[in-house]
Chains A and B, each alone.
Chain A
Amino acid sequence: MISNRNKVVELEHAVIRFAGDSGDGMQLTGGLFSDSTAFAGNDFATFPDYPAEIRAPQGTVAGVSGFQIRFGKTDIHTSGDLADVLVAMNPASLKANMRWIANDSIIIVDTDSFIEKNLKKAGYETNPLEDGSLIGHLVVKVPLTTLTRATVRDLNIDNKTSQKSKNMFALGLIFYMFNRDYTKTFSFFETKFKSNPLIVQANKLVLEAGFNFGDTIEAFANTFKIEPAPLQKGKYRNVTGNLATAWGFLAASEKSGRNLFLGSYPITPASEILQELSRHKQFSAVSFQAEDEIAGIVSTIGASFAGALAITTTSGPGFSLKSEAIGLAVITELPIVIVDVQRGGPSTGLPTKSEQSDLMQALFGRNGEAPCIIIAAQSASDCYYSAYEASKLAIEHMTPVILLSDGSIANGSEVFKIPKMKEMQPIETPLVEANDDSYQPYLRDEKKLNRRWALPGTEGLRHRIGGLEKENITGNVSMDPLNHQLMTELREDKVKLVSNYIPKQEVIGGDISDLLVISWGGTYGVLLTAIEKLIEEGKSVSLAHFKYIMPLPRNTKEVLSRYKRILVCEINMGQFVNYLRMQFPEFSYEQFNKVQGLPFMVVEITEKVNEILND
């Protein structure tokens, strides 16, 4: 299918951004391009950028939905800073995305939509296709709507339906540009629209027409090809962070032998975890859509008491509502996992945008001394392992675990090497056997300090727990001052001891360099890309990316002590850096913060690091 007319230019990597009205099917178009990218053997990462409204007014900048993919022949960890290719289905999507494209990008526009009415809605006073504002870019003007309609003219389908398939024309054109095989996409149509052969035919024709159009018009001086990435041998798939999170919990349920219980209330951007787990009841997974966030977590605590691997999922505002109940899980020492898919705050904030600003709330946002284990997932595929490990730590240490994800990794996708269940670490459940005479509700394991798990329905283990302070060992209600001190310390020590069961902090780059960059959670991809680039350029810089927040890895102090300067980068006003200042006041820290509801760009990090190294 590779055109012989044009020269084929080989690239290392490329970024494409599909943008259109929220009803234009840009997420689907991006998804199909991702699938073909996978089959082409490239590594890739994607990121959707969509409005908080389901269908904001058509044609306006507020209603623009975008999908960005970066793919390459090397390891890809981010969805890219700026797009090399922009597909803009209408004036609003051009306007909304001008700041996200490279200076010399290729812009494909649907000229049919650049009419006065739409230009006005987008806030253009003059037509950008004609007023010279796109100089420097290669603008490929395609009457997408007209061509699509002409392609399906003989199929006897209405205008509205034909209009809907114009995104496939654009996809066909991109396939041509990147020398892609579209037979896989054809089989997707056949499955997806099985019940409607006419739609299958229409989509196939339009996609093919787009591809052939690219070949015919000679708008491109050349086409592009990106060689397969040297990925490890194995089986792969594409996952979003939310999907991987849901599957990680199913894996932990299977491994631990504990049925999964999910008690959650829908909230953006966490709802997909609840939706995904609701689809897999065959694993004896109960998904309970509760009446509110509080019922979500409290039902989860009930399920944990009864013996389930019990999870609740939420985002910032819901996480606030769960605070009191997290305290109940802390004092009853029951294993639960609270997933907070962070979004822009405070309050309702920026529901569809990403932030790392719930860290302090996760650490301290409860009444009383109420420590929890906190881990932060670092990429879409890492969500699988983080959800698994959060479950393992909760059960083995009998304590709530907070798993911090964020909007960008939750909705972003990347290539995931499919692990096998037999490779996953075992999960030891501290269950008590029936009629164990030695059982006492608050008798602890000597090493981990966890109490044991005695499930209702088990003979000979009847006991009571609750939110009132417990007497050490017996678990009876106790208001004794010294006992309270002891129990507070035991709960804290139990969480601290987890540092013996998590990996040491690793550093990318030299053990000694001029600057240690620190990041945590969902910024991993960008930071890794930036620091690797700087190291390649010969800069004396290293990266410590933290996944374990509470407790910190046991060698954290030693790592920090090795570097003269420390720069902490995060998508908030400095929450992790202040946590480090609290823990290790002996070091001095510089910070780099961004709160725009957007991930870091690689170039922002490299510039900041260069600025520090040069001063």
Chain B
Amino acid sequence: MENTIDTKELNLTKKDFESDQMVKWCPGCGDYGILRSLENVFPLLGIPKEDFVVVSGIGCSSRFPYYMNTYGIHGIHGRAAALATGIKLTNPKLSVWMISGDGDSMAIGGNHFIHIARRNPDINYLMFNNKIYGLTKGQFSPTTPFGSKTKTSPQGTYEIPFNPGELVIGSQGKFFARVPDTNLKLMSKIFKEAAEFKGTSIVEILANCIIFQNKIHSMITGKETKEEYQLVLEHGEPMLFGKDLQKGLILEGTQLKVVELGKNGVTIDKILVHDSGTHDPGIHMMLASMAPPEFPSAIGVIRAVKSETFDDNVWASIEYEKDNTSITNVDELLNSGNTWEID
């Protein structure tokens, strides 16, 4: 199912994907940047515009399909993964983009989330994690930090939140990336990598809900703190962060540890080098789990393990059966096995 069409030949631009519908997110919402980013990336992928399908569930993020000029379907709460799977299995040629949020994916759609990760159909799964229910106006979600006061937790939550990356890796997921909604350049790069990855590419976007959970990611995204709390991963590169990239990660015993270059004899060759392609979930899980203030948050493609895709396997099995059956049409099927004739 490789798309071999040349980008230049298609001659697509951002305009080709802009919808004529009024975008109705709150002014200042992080979702605007994500929309712009995706409109920028689609023309670069070498895929004809009619082959894009944008699929969503319910929530603020899930209005997305209406705001892009592609084929789109806005489904029901939590079930976009199933919708996307049905589309991809029916027509594997399509470039399927699924948009979801933390409520949609981690709560009502939690079951579908782990199963799409496990099956690995070639779908791009963008999860906007603003750690709150925005569309229903401010109740806590499964990713809301412990103790947060919200409309349904006036005394603070009593629930341990999910970390989406841990769920992806724990569910046999093959691709996981994380990006803040403030870094559109990196976001576009990651969207492109997600599109090119064969399998379910799950991207957690740290999205800001300006109304109900403003600055929830500010430690990671804030101007003053971002260098300290963002470890931008690159495959094959050492895991460095901080001002002038003077800090890095090493493995001490079975745990990650933050070190400073030049201190206590730490040199660059001691620093862990990122291998997004290793099947071993160990370091990937540790990276996904890292959180401020003890650690920086891992940004970029944490895991991208080459594997067979669900849709390829389904259709390979169909092709195999076609080549190896004596029953090729329904008349033959109905007349196969035990039959008898009445004259």
Contact = CB atoms under 8 A, between A and B. Distances in A.
Interface string B310-336: 000010011011100101111101110
Contact of B90 (A233, A238, A308): A308
Contact of B55 (A250, A302, A310, A419): A302
B3 to A, nearest CB: 12
B97 to A, nearest CB: 12
Contacts of B327: 280, 282
Interface residues of A, number: 71
Contact of B50 (A261, A280, A459): A459
Contact of A250 (B82, B314, B333, B337): B333
B342 A236 contact: yes
A358 B66 CA distance: 36
Nearest to B65: A464
Nearest to B324: A282
Name, among B66, B82, B322, the residue most crowded by chain A CB atoms within 10 Å (CB to CB).
Answer: B82
Interface string B154-176: 00000000000000000000000
Nearest to A234: B342
Interface in A452-470: 455-468
Nearest to A455: B91
Contacts of B138: none
A237 B340 contact: yes
A254 interface: yes
Contacts of A235: 335, 339-342
A456 B89 contact: no
B238 to A, nearest CB: 39
A295 B111 contact: yes
Contacts of A467: 58, 74-76
A291 interface: yes
B79 A298 contact: yes
A140 to B, nearest CB: 29
A332 B83 CA distance: 13
B90 A465 contact: no
Nearest to A237: B339
Given A282-B325, A298-B82, A298-B86, A305 B73 contact: yes
Nearest to B62: A466
B340 A458 contact: no
B146 interface: no
Point out which of B49, B73, B321, B335 has the most chain A C-beta atoms below 10 A from its C-beta: B73
Nearest to A384: B334
Contact of A325 (B66, B73, B79): B79
A263 B86 contact: yes
B254 interface: no
Nearest to B16: A462
Nearest to B68: A464
B338 interface: yes
B75 A421 contact: no
A332 B71 CA distance: 13
Contacts, number: 197
B111 A306 contact: no
Contacts of A96: none
Interface stretch (A35-43, A107-115, A160-168, A169-177): A35-43
Nearest to B21: A476
Contacts of A476: 21
B115 interface: yes
A456 B94 contact: yes
A352 to B, nearest CB: 25
A294 interface: yes
Contact of B330 (A250, A325, A327, A465): A250
A292 interface: yes
A35 B340 CA distance: 10
A52 to B, nearest CB: 25
Interface string A294-319: 11101111111111101000000000
B91 A295 contact: no
A238 B338 contact: yes
B276 interface: no
A41 B50 CA distance: 57
A324 interface: yes
A200 interface: no
Nearest to A305: B73
A282 B328 contact: yes
A548 interface: no
B340 A39 contact: yes
A141 B83 CA distance: 60
Contacts of B328: 282
B38 interface: no
Contacts of B58: 467
A302 B58 CA distance: 15
A462 B49 contact: yes
Interface string B285-297: 0000000000000
A300 B87 CA distance: 8
A348 interface: no
A466 B333 contact: no
A284 interface: yes
A232 B342 CA distance: 7
B271 interface: no
A306 B90 CA distance: 6
A476 B343 CA distance: 60
Nearest to A280: B333
A305 B71 CA distance: 10
Q: Which of A232, A327, A418 has the largest number of chain B CB atoms within 10 A?
A: A418
B340 A236 contact: yes
A476 B63 CA distance: 12
7 contacts: A235-B339, A280-B327, A282-B328, A299-B89, A302-B87, A328-B76, A466-B56
Interface of B: 19, 21, 48-51, 53, 55-56, 58, 65-66, 69-76, 79, 81-87, 89-91, 93-94, 111-112, 115, 314, 317-318, 320-322, 325, 327-331, 333-335, 337-343
Given A457-B71, A458-B50, 16 more contacts: A235-B340, A235-B341, A283-B329, A283-B330, A284-B322, A288-B89, A301-B75, A301-B86, A302-B85, A456-B53, A456-B71, A457-B93, A461-B50, A462-B71, A464-B72, A477-B21
Q: Give the top 10 A-B pairs by smallest Cβ distance, nearest first.
A: A466-B74, A302-B86, A299-B86, A298-B82, A464-B72, A306-B90, A456-B71, A295-B82, A303-B86, A302-B83
